[in-house]
């Protein structure tokens, strides 16, 4: 893992008795030796048809862009997996395998391959120059709205 950089991670798993085969891509960052997972729309991984009001309100508090430590994401996955199970049970809907905690954990915590583009293309370099000239990029902590 390179120091203080972000890379694309690709996880892939084979079909088993409990789960269908699948693959997933996400970005991770290494900041001073700490790994962070970056997700642009994490709530999309947990959306379901006919959620209960309680489950829908839980999803509403998710940030649009998720940047958290691995341990924190594990807690979120466990919490939301339990909540989705309760929501689907109360709606008398079967729990699909791709919504189960073990399947969701495979996405971010199973084996993965990290890739990085070490030589940026000319087009990317020009885009970065134009972007740098007009704005700055950073993460800003926003308050959670009730």
User: pLDDT in tens for each of the 146 residues of the chain?
Assistant: 565 678 899 999 999 888 899 999 999 998 888 999 999 988 999 999 999 999 999 999 988 898 999 999 999 999 999 999 999 999 999 998 888 999 999 999 988 898 876 555 555 555 455 444 444 444 455 566 65
131: helix, strand or coil: helix
Angle formed at CA 29 by CA 39 and CA 144, multiple of 5 degrees? 45
- Report d(CA 144, CA 51) in Å as an integer: 21
pTM to 2 decimals? 0.71
Contacts of 2 (CB under 8 A, 6+ apart): 30, 116
Q: What is the pLDDT of residue 131?
A: 46
Buried b (16+ CB within 10 A) or exposed e, 75-90: ebbeebbebbeebbee
Residue 141 lies in a domain: no
List the domain range (segments joined by +) for residue 21.
5-119
Residue 48 lies in a domain: yes
Residue 137 lies in a domain: no
Residue 129 lies in a domain: no
Residue 138 lies in a domain: no
Terminal C-alpha separation, the chain: 38
Residue 65 lies in a domain: yes
- Report d(CA 55, CA 99) in Å as an integer: 14
Q: What is the pLDDT of residue 17?
A: 87
Number of domains in the chain: 1
Q: What is the pLDDT of residue 124?
A: 52
Residue 56 lies in a domain: yes
- Report d(CA 121, CA 82) in Å as an integer: 44
CA torsion sign for 77, 82, 85, 88 is negative
For residues 4 and 88, the answer to whether their CB atoms sit within 8 Å is no
For residues 80 and 57, the answer to whether their CB atoms sit within 8 Å is no
Residue 134 lies in a domain: no
């Amino acid at each position: 893992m390179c120091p203080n950089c972000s890379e694309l991670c690709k996880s892939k798993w084979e079909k088993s008795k409990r789960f269908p085969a699948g693959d997933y891509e996400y970005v991770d960052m290494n900041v001073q030796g700490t790994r962070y997972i970056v997700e642009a729309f994490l709530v999309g991984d947990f959306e379901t048809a006919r959620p209960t009001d309680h489950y829908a309100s839980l999803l509403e508090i998710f940030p649009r862009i998720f940047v958290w430590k691995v341990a924190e994401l594990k807690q979120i996955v466990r919490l939301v997996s339990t909540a989705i199970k309760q929501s689907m049970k109360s709606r008398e809907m079967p729990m699909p395998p791709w919504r189960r905690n073990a399947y969701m954990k495979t996405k971010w915590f199973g084996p993965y391959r990290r890739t990085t583009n070490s030589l940026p293309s000319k087009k990317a370099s020009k885009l970065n120059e134009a972007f740098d000239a007009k704005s700055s990029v950073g993460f800003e902590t926003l308050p959670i709205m009730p």
